[in-house]
Amino acid sequence: MKRLIFLLVLALSCLQLTSQTLARNLYFPIDSFRLSNENVDLLQKCLDGMHAGDKISIRILIHDEAKNKGLINELNRKRSLEITNFFLQEGIPASNLKVIKTPGREVKGFISDDMKNLLVYDIEVYKALSTAQYSRANELDLQYPAKQVFSFPSALQDISVNCAGGTVLKFTPGSFEYKNGLAVVSDIKLEIQEFPKLSDISGGGLITMSDNESLNAAGILWVKAICGNKEVRLKKGKMISINFQNTQELSDAALYTGELTDGLLILHAFDPINAAAHVDHQYTISSPVLHWIACAAPDKAPAKGSLSLKVSANFPVTARIIVGGESKVLDAVLVPESKELLFPHLPLGKQASLVVYGEKEGKIYFYSEQFTTSAEAKEKVSLKESNLDALKSALKAAAQ
């Protein structure tokens, strides 16, 4: 059952979050529409807790006896824009945000007599399923490695991090800022999850694709920078230097940034990558959003095969092909007309593993097999009930 969380701006413009486990009020100054850092933190926690298909409903109200209702309505309009801008900046597409304006006299509940002539703004935020309706199993913590935590007493020093899997990150002094643009000067903490090998990437349910094109991966990172209890970002113009352990195996590797959408990691080529940005397998990147960073090379193999799957399941599924010798984890696309899952760009004659999995009513179902890639292959698969540990093992073993 999808969770529904209500956020209300009430007396003196407060923001109240209510669910089975959460009930908090956040207050605006009576004449302000700006979100405070505390408000942003709580909204961020709420957003981080959403799964694909979840919905947040935000209601902006104010109980005020002032005579000028027009000024109050304008203030509430600006508050609605402030909140929607927060979600836009956090990657929620505009199509998944909806602002509804209703006269107070037409709204049931939460409305006092003083509020009948005020406009009520409702903001609906959806974290929608992708077109292919990927399974919730795709969002489970399949095999993510433990977070590596590195702490530094000052953000105004050179920061060098040596990860357990061999990846090295370097930041110059003064590299970080808060989301409001203020510089970070005090202690800094970096949380990193490292996927240096293909088995780590496949075991985590990740893929090595960008804009439906396959990549050969040298490694993927997830990076978060924190000062106190607030996440901070890379300051504009500042650079990260990254040395991935396995880049020597790829002659034309480049950096990609990524975003996790509905459980699917979407990689985007970081542009520009020029000669000065790639020296002796070290890369520099300037991007305010750290989070997902990958090092990979485009697949230039000219020969392509395909595999079409007919899956006998009455629930959404996720399908992966892991090509060990090519350092690839590929994702299927849904063919709307036939409801088949299609892998359209496969290297020919390669040993690969297919894993198809899904979740229904809290139970895990999956299918796995090894095969040799060929042109225009078709197959029908049936998923069997299993458990999460068995699925984890199958995904990781497929890359061995």
Residue-range domain boundaries for the chain: 4-127, 144-298, 304-397
Pairing of strands 54-60, 4-9: parallel
CA angle, residues 149, 151, 156, in degrees to nearest 5: 140
The answer to whether 139 touches 53, Cβ cutoff 8 Å, is no
DSSP output for 80-136: HHHHHHHHHHTT--GGGEEEEEEEGGG--SS--GGGTTSEEEEEEEEEPPPTT---G
User: Which residues have C-beta within 8 Å of that of residue 179, sequence separation ≥ 6?
Assistant: 37, 40, 230, 231, 232, 233
Query: According to the model, what pLDDT value does residue 151 have?
Result: 94
Query: According to the model, what pLDDT value does residue 263 have?
Result: 57
Q: Is the peptide bond before 145 cis (omega within 30 degrees of 0)?
A: no
Give yes or no on whether 144-298 and 304-397 have one common fold. no
Sheet holding 282-285, edge to edge: 159-162, 168-171, 240-243, 282-285, 278-279
Measured on CA atoms in the order 198, 215, 356, 304, is the torsion positive or negative? negative
Query: According to the model, what pLDDT value does residue 353 have?
Result: 92
- Give the 3-state DSSP-derived string for 177-227, with helices as H, strands as E and coil as C: ECCCCCECCCCEEEEEEEECCHHHHHHCCCCCEECCEEEEEEEEEEEEEEE
Q: pTM for the full model?
A: 0.61
User: Which residues have C-beta within 8 Å of that of residue 104, sequence separation ≥ 6?
Assistant: 111, 115, 116, 117, 118, 119, 120
Instruction: Name the stretches of the chain with pLDDT < 70.
Output: 1-28, 51-54, 61-67, 95, 109-112, 114, 127-143, 211-212, 247-251, 261-264, 269-289, 301-303, 336-337
Q: Which two tokens stand for residue 27?
A: 């207050």
Query: According to the model, what pLDDT value does residue 15 have?
Result: 40
Q: Which two tokens stand for residue 176?
A: 């970080």
Query: According to the model, what pLDDT value does residue 2 have?
Result: 38
Amino acid at site 169: L
Query: According to the model, what pLDDT value does residue 127 have?
Result: 66
* Fold for the domain defined by 304-397: Immunoglobulin-like (2.60.40)
Q: What is the C-alpha separation between 258 and 110, in angstroms, rounded?
A: 41
Amino acid at site 146: A
Q: What is the C-alpha separation between 1 and 228, in angstroms, rounded?
A: 35
Q: What is the C-alpha separation between 331 and 208, in angstroms, rounded?
A: 8
- Please identify, in words, the CATH class of the domain defined by 4-127: alpha beta
The answer to whether 67 touches 73, Cβ cutoff 8 Å, is no
Secondary structure of residue 249 in the 3-state scheme: helix
Pairing of strands 168-171, 240-243: antiparallel
Give 48: exposed, middle or buried? Use CB within 10 Å, 0-12, 13-18, 19+.
Answer: exposed
Dihedral pair phi/psi, residue 77, rounded to 5°: -60, -45
* Fold for the domain defined by 144-298: Chondroitinase Ac; Chain A, domain 3 (2.60.220)
Q: Which residue(s) pair with 38 in the sheet?
A: none
Measured on CA atoms in the order 251, 274, 91, 148, is the torsion positive or negative? positive
Secondary structure of residue 60 in the 3-state scheme: strand
Query: According to the model, what pLDDT value does residue 16 have?
Result: 38
What 69-73 contacts at long range (C-beta under 8 Å, 24+ apart), as own/partner pairs, is 69/117, 69/118, 72/118, 73/118, 73/119
Sheet holding 333-335, edge to edge: 333-335, 340-347, 304-312, 377-382
Pairing of strands 333-335, 340-347: antiparallel
